[in-house]
Amino acid sequence: MPEEPTTPDLVERTRHACEALSRRDLDSLLGVFAPDSIHRLVNPRGGVRLWDHPGMSTSKQSAVRLVAVDDLGASQVTVVEETPHGAIAVGISAGKPFAVSNRCRHLFASLGEGNVTTEGCLQCPWHGARYDVETGKMVRGPQGAYKPLAGVVKATAGAIALKTFPVELRDGVIWLLG
Ligand code: FES
């Protein structure tokens, strides 16, 4: 019975296969199959590594697929668990993709389970704190029962901006760069 190929074998084989493909073939392969099949094959930690994509810049070669815009749903944001930065909140604001660290500065709710407001802010699902997705800054403190403390929270824990990560929108998919 033939031995099961190891992950390094599969990566090496995929690398060779990619080198043998024309750019058009590879574009079409990535467009059709990249989300899951190649992703599992070449990058068990999640995402598609494009280091073998002919003609791509260095930064694009290390791009990691995060999520398709169509999969974001009405909230326009989601949590992507398996990234080089751990779980991050990824979404679309005013037509532009964004990725920020996932934990609210107030009581650590998962921001990817919140929503993007009509003003383009990322809103926490627990108490409604809001963040500017470009800078990561809290622009509104928590609401509801915590509203009297909104200013204090914003000036203390909220003064530390969320981490922001470089992303790009390509063919309806948000990619993490670098
Ligand atoms: S945990 Fe986010 S506003 Fe309270």
How does pLDDT run across 108-125, given as a tens digit for each residue? 999 999 999 999 999 999
pLDDT of residue 17: 47
Nearest C-alpha neighbor of 83 from the set 99, 107, 72, 60: 99
What's the structural domain count of the chain? 2
Using the atom order of ligand 1, give the atom closest to the CA of residue 125: 2
Residue 75 within a domain: yes
Confidence band, pLDDT 50/70/90 cuts, at residue 151? very high
Q: 114: domain range? A: 68-169
Q: Which is higher by pLDDT, 150 or 25? A: 150
Q: Tell me if residue 41 falls in helix, strand or coil.
A: helix
- The proportion of the chain whose per-residue pLDDT surpasses 70, expressed as a percent, equals 66
AA letter at 150:
A
Q: In the listed set 31, 50, 65, which residue is the last one of a domain according to the structure? A: 65
The answer, yes or no, to whether residue 39 has pLDDT greater than 50, is: no
Confidence band, pLDDT 50/70/90 cuts, at residue 62? confident
Residue 58 within a domain: yes
Residue 49 within a domain: yes
Same domain, 46 and 124: no
The answer, yes or no, to whether residue 95 has pLDDT greater than 70, is: yes
Q: Tell me if residue 74 falls in helix, strand or coil.
A: coil
Over the stretch 127-137, which tens digit does the pLDDT of each residue have?
999 999 999 99
Using the atom order of ligand 1, give the atom closest to the CA of residue 108: 1
Mean pLDDT of the chain: 79
Same domain, 43 and 111: no
The pLDDT of 25-41, averaged and rounded, is: 38
CA angle 97, 117, 85 (to 5 degrees): 40
Minimum CA distance residue for ligand 1 atom 4: 127
The answer, yes or no, to whether residue 51 has pLDDT greater than 70, is: no
The pLDDT of 82-97, averaged and rounded, is: 97
The answer, yes or no, to whether residue 16 has pLDDT greater than 70, is: no
Using the atom order of ligand 1, give the atom closest to the CA of residue 124: 2
pLDDT of residue 12: 53
Rounded to an integer, what distance in angstroms lies between the CA atom of residue 38 and that of residue 87?
A: 21
Tracing tokens 């999640």 back to the chain, one arrives at 46
Residue 142 within a domain: yes
Pocket of ligand 1 (CB under 6 A): 104, 106-107, 109, 124, 126-127, 129, 142
For every residue of 142-169, DSSP letters joined together read --GGGGGGHHHHHHTGGGSPPPB--EEE
Strands of 74-128, DSSP E: 77-80, 88-93, 96-101, 115-116, 122-123
